[in-house]
């Protein structure tokens, strides 16, 4: 078991057979999870570092398994992707997040993670339109987060999808920035609205001067392209001070709040308290 006591599917023995069995177990369970309403969304605020207010909230998926307890997305998303189950699960996430965000003030948006499998699904735009219509959420309040892996195959297709989604009025965010191969030319080619600096850079901020230089370069690059810069994984006041000084727009991390229930995030938002 993991240190935090959460139940996990991860198999530590090297045997392939055990891994395959675990995978089949997850797949079978995932098929019933949707029908049995075992998924839940938690929300984590993204704080405007200028005003201290909640700018938007990221929806983070949890699986409340009847016998294993809470299962982390890191332990089942990859199986959901390999089996195609990520499509109905992702559609549920999109609808649920839009529906919940309707309860928040007009200026607070919602960010939803998209798997590359969803991103490459030809009916993505239709599903997004449908989620917006059913919930009544204005498109401007929805942001979709993707990682750069969506662009590894077929650049033309990626550009078309980005264009389709942006013409609906929603925003697109490039998640985990800095962990892959992205460069300035990449950012110019794929016009994301928001850039999220991966938390591995934030982790090292207090120790390594190099990391400050990297953050500074990324902020400069993103801003020169008109992007909103988000930093994730902010855990200490020291990190926050550096990130503010470097001109990051929004911050997200345990320093402000862990991911919390829909009810709890409503309270935080409506308190309007600067964080
Ligand atoms: P992500 O999109 O990079 O989400 C941020 C992760 O960092 C979340 O983990 C969040 O709980 C965690 N985090 C936030 N602040 C801090 C901090 O200050 N320190 C540390 N150490 N961690 C922090 P979580 O909720 O376990 O999600 C893990 C990943 O699972 C996400 O990474 C995302 O890639 C994926 N995921 C979550 N929900 C969904 C979903 O609905 N659809 C898809 N396709 N993927 C999802
Ligand atoms: Ca994300
Ligand atoms: Ca991220
Ligand atoms: Ca990540």
Burial class of 66 by CB neighbour count within 10 A (0 to 12, 13 to 18, 19+): exposed
For residue 162, the CA-to-ligand 2 centroid distance in Å is 17
Rounded Cα distance between 134 and 99, Å, is 8
Give residue 104's pLDDT: 97
Cα 4 to Cα 1, 7, 43, 70, 147: the distances in Å are: 8, 9, 20, 11, 27
Per-residue pLDDT of 92-148, as tens digits, reads 999 999 999 999 999 999 999 999 999 999 999 999 999 999 999 999 999 999 998
Give residue 89's pLDDT: 97
Give residue 1's pLDDT: 36
pTM: 0.92
Give residue 270's pLDDT: 87
Question: pLDDT truncated to tens, each residue of the chain (275 aa)?
Answer: 344 545 556 655 566 677 788 888 888 899 999 999 999 999 999 999 999 999 999 999 999 999 989 999 999 999 999 999 999 999 999 999 999 999 999 999 999 999 999 999 999 999 999 999 999 999 999 999 999 887 766 567 888 999 999 999 999 999 999 887 777 778 888 889 999 999 998 988 876 678 888 899 999 999 999 999 999 999 999 999 999 999 999 999 999 999 999 999 999 998 865 56
Rounded Cα distance between 187 and 195, Å, is 9
Cβ neighbours, 10 Å, residue 55? 21
Ligand of minimum distance to the alpha carbon of 252: 1
Give residue 2's pLDDT: 42
Q: What is the full DSSP assignment across 181-243? A: ---HHHHHHS--SEEEE-HHHHHTTTT-HHHHHHHHHHHHHHHHTT-EEEEE---SHHHHHHH
Place of tokens 């919930």: 135
For residue 232, the CA-to-ligand 3 centroid distance in Å is 7
Give the start-end residues of each E strand in 31-162.
39-48, 54-65, 69-71, 109-113, 142-146
Q: Ligand 1: which of 60, 91, 118, 250 to mutate, judged by most atoms within 8 Å of the beta carbon?
A: 60
Give residue 155's pLDDT: 66
For residue 60, the CA-to-ligand 1 centroid distance in Å is 6
Rounded Cα distance between 258 and 275, Å, is 13
Bridge-partner residues for 252, per DSSP? 232
Q: Are 150 and 98 in contact (CB under 8 A)?
A: no
CA atoms within 13 A of residue 80's CA, in its CB half-sphere: 26
- Chain CA centroid to CA 1, Å: 26
Ligand of minimum distance to the alpha carbon of 255: 1
Residues with CB under 5 A from ligand 3 (ion): 175-176
Q: Provide the 8-state DSSP code for 2.
A: -
Radius of gyration (C-alpha) of the chain in whole angstroms: 19
User: What is the complex's ipTM, to 2 decimals?
Assistant: 0.97
- Count the residues in the chain: 275
For residue 58, the CA-to-ligand 2 centroid distance in Å is 7
Q: Are 229 and 219 in contact (CB under 8 A)?
A: yes
């Amino acid at each position: 078991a993991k240190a935090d006591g959460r139940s996990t599917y991860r198999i530590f023995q090297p045997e392939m057979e055990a891994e395959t069995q675990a995978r089949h177990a997850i797949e079978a369970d995932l098929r019933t999870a949707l029908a049995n309403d075992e998924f839940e969304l938690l929300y984590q605020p993204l704080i405007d570092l200028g005003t201290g207010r909640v700018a938007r909230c990221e929806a983070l998926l949890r699986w409340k398994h009847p016998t294993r307890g809470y299962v982390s997305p890191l332990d089942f998303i990859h199986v959901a992707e390999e089996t195609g189950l990520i499509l109905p699960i992702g559609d549920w996430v999109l609808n649920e997040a839009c529906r919940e965000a309707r309860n928040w003030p007009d200026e607070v948006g919602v960010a939803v993670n998209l798997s590359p499998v969803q991103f490459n699904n030809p009916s993505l735009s239709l599903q997004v339109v449908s989620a917006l219509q059913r919930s009544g959420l204005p498109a401007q309040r929805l942001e979709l987060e993707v990682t750069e892996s969506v662009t590894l195959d077929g650049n033309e297709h990626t550009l078309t999808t980005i264009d389709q989604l942006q013409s609906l009025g929603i925003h697109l965010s490039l998640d985990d920035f800095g962990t892959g191969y992205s460069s300035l030319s990449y950012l110019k080619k794929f016009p994301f609205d928001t850039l999220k600096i991966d938390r591995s850079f934030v982790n090292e901020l207090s120790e390594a001067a190099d990391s400050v230089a990297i953050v500074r370069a990324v902020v400069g690059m993103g801003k020169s392209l008109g992007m909103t810069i988000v930093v994730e994984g902010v855990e200490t006041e020291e990190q926050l001070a550096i990130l503010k000084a470097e001109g990051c727009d929004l911050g997200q991390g345990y320093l402000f709040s862990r991911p919390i229930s829909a009810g709890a995030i409503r309270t935080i938002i409506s308190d309007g308290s600067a964080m």
